[in-house]
Amino acid sequence: MTIFSRIFLSSSILLLAACSVVMPVVDESPASNNQAVVNLIQEANDYRDRQQYVNATASLERALRLEPKNPLLWFEIAKMSKLNNDIKTATNMALRAKSLTSDAILRSVIDTFIANL
């Protein structure tokens, strides 16, 4: 995991600790080396900024079809599900993200996210 990803995850911990309602979609560092995935994440960011959470989720799901084992994408979908008040899906997506990562920081962020659902 790159230093930028670690910074993103650390900032996510702080956001979760502050009980922020709107958490950023991955935008501090590339969540992928695949440009199509990066573009879809940016599209999701744009939708999220306009509070179009269903469209943001759809963009993230398209990215997930390209990289089904990317834990950050699963976690972003979990966050969008929370914003859509779909706590069951948010929980399931977060657990899936946790199962796909061995990164201790991301696992901690996900645990905190789930605890705050």
Q: Is residue 22 included in any domain, yes or no?
A: no
Give the separation between CA 97 and CA 106, rounded to whole angstroms.
9
- Hunting for tokens 């899936």 — which residue is that? 96
Q: Is residue 19 included in any domain, yes or no?
A: no
The CATH number that applies at residue 51 is 1.25.40.10
pLDDT at 25 over 90: no
Residue 77, both tokens? 């979908």
Q: Is residue 14 included in any domain, yes or no?
A: no
Task: Give the mean model confidence (pLDDT) for residues 18-34.
Answer: 56
Q: Is residue 39 included in any domain, yes or no?
A: yes
The total of structural domains in the chain comes to 1
Kindly report whether the global pTM for this prediction surpasses the value 0.95.
no
pLDDT tens, 54-102? 999 999 999 999 999 999 999 999 999 999 999 999 999 999 999 999 9
What is the extent of the structural domain holding 46? 30-115
